[in-house]
Chains A and B, each alone.
Chain A
Amino acid sequence: MLTFKLAFRNLFRNTRRTILTSVLISASLIVLILVDGLMLGMTNVMIGGITHTLEGEAQVVRKGFRNNFEVEYTIDDPTSVINQIENSKAVEGYGPRVIIGGMIASSYNTTGSLVYGVDAQQELRVSRISEAVIEGRYLSGGSREILIGKPMADLLEVKLGDRLIITAATVDTNEITQELFRLSGIFEFGPEEMDKNLVFINLDKAQSVLGMKGNLHQIAVRFIDPEDAKNPELPLFKQLTNEENEALGWLNLQPSIGAMIEMSSYATAIVGTILFLLTSLGVINSMFMSIYERIYEFGVAKAIGTTPWQIIQLVLFEALLLALISCAFGLTLGYLLGDYFSINGIPMGKMEVSGVLLDGNLYTQLALYQFVNFPIYVTLLTLAAAIYPATFASRIVPTEALQRAL
């Protein structure tokens, strides 16, 4: 095709300029991929932190329980609920829990706490409690086992093996009950509110001490596909939500997180727009320069009968070619960099935030749409940026152009 050959030749007549412009375009693509990858990575860390640490991707609770955490609000018909969860193909794991406020006392001190009775084995597939244990051992079903956070251990001045008493009110008769435990593990999740206040004991022990007769306050669920948690129409949610109970994904459980993620993607969109505008300017500049210096040629072309439309086609084709070459380059480099950063983290130095909730480095995450949609955007952008220069070129008056010597 003549146009193709012409466009190709025109581009490489001024290789330097072509390369410079191409660098600009591919840089934009790379930056887009990396920024998006970073946002994705950060979002996932945040979501993962919240849903996988303790809360779960979804929960089943009694309606009203989330209002005030009152202990009478136990899940209705827990056996049936658990059956349905076990039979669901979407579920990776679930953790049945009892949650109650109580006082915890040592020989030294006493403080308030939120006591979680959990099934040690089941929790492994839903939450990261076991990963948070820094001293001693994770729960294994022993009746006097208890896990407390490091700040709480410091406040109570206890070490592994020491006595701890939990005082609470029974669920069935509202009488005061006390139980003895021996500190079996100390954990550190990271956030103070968790480490200062949470206490973990075995589920059956909690149920017996609190007179719960097999009842539960909460079932945390993790799905095989994390996207399921965001889907309010998920069959499992519909099945389990009735007059008594509700089954909710984390978006509903923690709406403020959803809002923050939206704000974050909004900011990314703005940054993306900025990048595009910067790039367009560069492309327009470059195309104009190239047309400008070929004004004589264009004048000749028009003089010998090339139609304006043909000239537009030519310029646009040049732009298209430029875009395609740049995208090829940008995709390759973008993939390499994105992949590298997804494994090694971005080079901004380590942070002191440790613990299970927030990882040390920030990682990018690659996604297919980054490599399909973005190049398309960039190509279209380049074409759009070339429209003005193209129309300008098509309108060149041959007589004026032929007079220009420079």
Chain B
Amino acid sequence: MFRLLLLLSLTCPAIASEERAREIIDEMEQLYRGDSSDATMTMQVQTPNYNRTLTMTAQSFGKDYGFFRIQAPKKDRGIATLKRDEEMWNYFPKINKVIKVPPSMMMGSWMGSDFTNDDLVKETQLIDAYALALIETEDEYKVTLTPREQTVTVWDRIEYTISKDPLLPLSQAFFDDDGEKIRELTFHEPKEYYGKLMPSILEMRPLNKEGHLTRIMYDDIKFNVPEITKDTFSLRNLKSRF
């Protein structure tokens, strides 16, 4: 009896901490989304072979719907990506074609950046697909996400570091089966957008390739935009220029 109580008292904080971790992650995920969002951003891609800067607009609704449309440079203006649940489509205005992203492109890079198409589709699954463990320090929360048995991912674990005050993400580190950190997403320069404080700069750095960096800078972002509904995210809208 005594031993059982001891056991219970030992596991309870663990359970409690898993739930707390869930809450924290959920809040972080909501940070960039709200119920719906409308943003303009600049994406810089640096590689040893080229540097590219794109400006684009991005809309989202809930976790499953997203639109990205390139505004600049002129050559790529109008190229757009539609994401619905687990499916993705690209639109190319020059040839006026909508192309569904096939499996062979899923693991490829999105728009030439260090994010993959797969990242865009999967970014919202952190909570459901992973087991969470929380460690608290004085200033930070460190959540270690370990994929569940059925989860399909190349990462052995992800470490999510969040500052306590203000409650903002600091970094996501992705580890392979050997425990080596392969890539890292860092968050910088919190700014206020319409009363909401969030990091304005995201940097994705692959650590196994030298000289690669993708930086996303939010120029503007609005949340809970009434004009954006689920129906906004249609193939027809993909083709129109807004």
Q: Do A and B come from one complex?
A: yes
Measured between beta carbons, the chain A residues less than 8 angstroms from B177 are: 107, 158, 161-163
Tell which of A108, A157, A164, A176 touches B103, judged by Cβ atoms closer than 8 Å.
A176
Across the interface, do B182 and A176 meet the contact criterion of CB distance under 8 Å?
A: no
Within 8 A of A (CB), among B75-125: 86-87, 101-104, 106-108, 118
Measured between beta carbons, the chain A residues less than 8 angstroms from B6 are: none
Within 8 A of A (CB), among B146-187: 150-156, 174, 176-178, 182
User: Given that A162-B177, A163-B177 are known contacts, is A179 also in contact with B106, CB under 8 Å in the complex?
Assistant: no
Across the interface, do A110 and B107 meet the contact criterion of CB distance under 8 Å?
A: yes
Tell which of B152, B155, B178 touches A179, judged by Cβ atoms closer than 8 Å.
B152
Q: Does A178 contact B (CB under 8 A)?
A: yes
Main secondary structure of the interface of A (DSSP, over half): strand
Complex CA distance for A157 and B177, rounded to whole angstroms: 11
Residue among B103, B155, B174 with most chain A CB within 10 A: B103
Across the interface, do B152 and A169 meet the contact criterion of CB distance under 8 Å?
A: no
B57 to chain A, nearest CB (A): 26
Across the interface, do B104 and A107 meet the contact criterion of CB distance under 8 Å?
A: no
A168 to chain B, nearest CB (A): 5
Q: Does A180 contact B (CB under 8 A)?
A: yes
Main secondary structure of the interface of B (DSSP, over half): loop
Across the interface, do A163 and B154 meet the contact criterion of CB distance under 8 Å?
A: yes
Tell which of A102, A106, A177 touches B154, judged by Cβ atoms closer than 8 Å.
A106
Across the interface, do B107 and A163 meet the contact criterion of CB distance under 8 Å?
A: no
Complex CA distance for A162 and B156, rounded to whole angstroms: 9
Complex CA distance for A106 and B177, rounded to whole angstroms: 10
B210 to chain A, nearest CB (A): 14
Q: Does A112 contact B (CB under 8 A)?
A: yes
Q: Does B137 contact A (CB under 8 A)?
A: no
Complex CA distance for A108 and B156, rounded to whole angstroms: 12
B131 to chain A, nearest CB (A): 15
Measured between beta carbons, the chain B residues less than 8 angstroms from A103 are: 103-104, 106-107
Q: Does A356 contact B (CB under 8 A)?
A: no
Across the interface, do A105 and B107 meet the contact criterion of CB distance under 8 Å?
A: yes
Task: Scan A259-293; emit 1 where CB is below 8 A from any B CB, else 0.
Answer: 00000000000000000000000000000000000
Across the interface, do A110 and B108 meet the contact criterion of CB distance under 8 Å?
A: yes
Chain B: which residue is nearest A100 at the CB level?
Answer: B103
B86 to chain A, nearest CB (A): 7
A393 to chain B, nearest CB (A): 82
Q: Does B208 contact A (CB under 8 A)?
A: yes
Instruction: Bin the interface of chain A by size.
Output: 20 to 34
Across the interface, do A102 and B103 meet the contact criterion of CB distance under 8 Å?
A: yes
Across the interface, do B103 and A165 meet the contact criterion of CB distance under 8 Å?
A: no
B113 to chain A, nearest CB (A): 15
Across the interface, do A180 and B153 meet the contact criterion of CB distance under 8 Å?
A: yes
Across the interface, do B107 and A108 meet the contact criterion of CB distance under 8 Å?
A: no
Q: Does A391 contact B (CB under 8 A)?
A: no
B87 to chain A, nearest CB (A): 7
Tell which of A108, A165, A178 touches B182, judged by Cβ atoms closer than 8 Å.
A108
Q: Does A167 contact B (CB under 8 A)?
A: yes
Across the interface, do B174 and A107 meet the contact criterion of CB distance under 8 Å?
A: yes
Complex CA distance for A167 and B118, rounded to whole angstroms: 10
Across the interface, do A167 and B103 meet the contact criterion of CB distance under 8 Å?
A: yes
Tell which of B106, B155, B176 touches A167, judged by Cβ atoms closer than 8 Å.
B106
Complex CA distance for A103 and B101, rounded to whole angstroms: 13
Measured between beta carbons, the chain B residues less than 8 angstroms from A167 are: 103-104, 106-107, 118
Complex CA distance for A101 and B104, rounded to whole angstroms: 9
Residues of chain A having any CB pair with chain B under 8 Å? 101-103, 105-108, 110, 112, 157-158, 161-165, 167-169, 175-180
Listed A/B pairs (25) with beta-carbon separation below 8 Å: A101-B104, A102-B103, A102-B104, A103-B107, A106-B176, A107-B174, A107-B176, A108-B208, A110-B108, A157-B208, A158-B177, A161-B177, A163-B153, A163-B154, A163-B155, A163-B156, A165-B152, A165-B154, A167-B103, A167-B106, A167-B107, A176-B86, A176-B102, A177-B103, A180-B153
Pairs A-B, 8 closest by C-beta atoms? A107-B176, A110-B107, A167-B103, A180-B152, A105-B107, A162-B177, A107-B154, A178-B152
Q: Can you name 12 extra interface pairs (CB under 8 A) apart from A163-B155, A163-B177, A165-B152?
A: A103-B104, A103-B107, A106-B176, A107-B174, A108-B176, A110-B107, A161-B177, A162-B178, A175-B86, A176-B102, A178-B106, A179-B152
